[in-house]
Amino acid sequence: MWQGLILSDEVNPWELLVLAEHAALEAARFIVERRPADLGVAETKSSPTDVVTEMDTGAEQLIRKAVLERRPDDGFLGEEGGADSGASGVRWVIDPIDGTVNYLYGLPAFAVSIGVEVGGTTVAGVVAAPLMGEVYTAVRGAGAWCNGAPVKARPATGLGDALVATGFGYRAERRRRQGEIVRALLPRVRDIRRGGSAALDLCAVAAGRLDGYFERGTHAWDCSAGALIATEAGAVVGGFHGAEAGEPMVIAAPRGTFTALHDALVELGADATDY
Ligand code: IPD
């Protein structure tokens, strides 16, 4: 469907990418420059979490404004600002700060993530990590880049040689189950990482810095851009039993690794629906 749309003068994925990158960089500058230096430790009038929420909301507003100035009929799905379907068939899926806990503590692994959908398919994406000095981009069918240089996922590997990242949800019961799965998986893989940003984990798979990534409970805004970037870099991104990647599961890895990781997770009961 979107292929028909990009033939029109109005919707060109490269133009969407340019606008997405412009908006992401503006938001990235905002969250770095406006972050109070002592956010994680100082006693502030409000709690540090409130300050992060303020930064999140401010960054998302900047992105929406930058988009609406050029494309007033587009829709949005944002972590802070909710959903608005728009009238153009183009939707911007925004996580103004993915890796908010890293941001809170001053760890560099946080990013602005923007995926752009046309007719429900993500056609362009950007993940900008200002303290890492990295901007990942992708256009569907055309490739994925880091700071303008093409990125490529690693060749597939056996599970025993795989460096695998994952993440944990915010709910205690879900975290307990996720912890049990990781405990059982750990002896079967090279090692496990918990980076704290799903968008950057997906970009790390794209850049060949990880053999795989999996997580239950992510939202569309965490993964929209990163999933396109990983796919365009040659990884497979999907869920359990042939389902698309989504809230129940996101797995990203080169094909052979994807299958090994998927099957191991199923064997460990990670596809259960009660957590
Ligand atoms: C979170 C991060 C984290 C993942 C969580 C996400 P947020 O997003 O991506 O790595 O494990 O599932 O919710 O809250 O920092 O935008």
pLDDT in tens, 158-199: 999 999 999 999 899 999 999 999 999 999 999 999 999 999
Give me the chain's average pLDDT, please. 92
pLDDT at 230: 98
Tell me the pLDDT band of 54, cut-offs 50, 70 and 90.
confident
CA of 53 to the centre of ligand 1 (A): 14
Confidence band of 10 (pLDDT split at 50, 70, 90): low
- Mean pLDDT score, 151-158: 98
Residue 50 in this model has a pLDDT that exceeds 80 = no
State yes or no: pLDDT of 42 exceeds 60: no
Give first-to-last CA distance, the chain, whole Å: 35
Using 50, 70 and 90 to split pLDDT, how confident is the model at 145? very high
Integer Cα distance of 229 and 95 in angstroms:
15
Collapsing DSSP to helix, strand or coil, 175 comes out as: helix
DSSP state of 242: G
Position in ligand 1 atom list of the atom nearest CA 195: 10
* pLDDT given for residue 46 in this prediction: 54
Summarize pLDDT for 214-225 with one digit per residue, the tens.
Answer: 999 999 999 999
- Asked whether the predicted pLDDT for residue 40 surpasses 80, the reply is no
Q: Which of 10-24, 47-61, 259-273 has the lowest mean pLDDT?
A: 47-61
Name the token pair of 181.
């799965």
Q: In this model, does residue 44 exceed pLDDT 70?
A: no
Tell me the catalytic residues.
Answer: 79, 95, 97-98, 100, 222
Q: How many CB atoms lie within 10 A of CB 126?
A: 31
Contact criterion met (CB below 8 Å) for 178 and 201: no
Centre of ligand 1 to C-alpha 3, Å, is 31
Residues with CB under 6 A from ligand 1: 79, 95, 98-100, 167-169, 196-198, 215, 217-218, 222
Q: Which pTM value belongs to this model?
A: 0.94
Write down the pLDDT at residue 48: 67
pLDDT at 97: 96
> pLDDT (tens digit, 9 = 90+) per residue, 97-137?
999 999 988 999 999 999 999 999 999 999 999 999 999 99
For residue 212, the cross-strand partners are: 164
Output the CA 102–ligand 1 centroid distance in Å.
10
Token output for 240: 């359990």
Which atom from ligand 1 is nearest to the alpha carbon of 97?
Answer: 16
- Whether the pLDDT of residue 43 is over 70: the answer is no
Q: Which atom of ligand 1 is nearest to the CA of 95?
A: 16
Per-residue pLDDT at 241 exceeds 50: yes
DSSP codes, 34-88: TS-TTTTTS--SS-HHHHHHHHHHHHHHHHHHHHHHH-TT-EEEETTTEEE--SS
Token pair for 250: 């996101």
**Which residue CA neighbors atom 2 of ligand 1 most closely?**
197
pLDDT band at 9 (very low <50, low <70, confident <90, very high): low
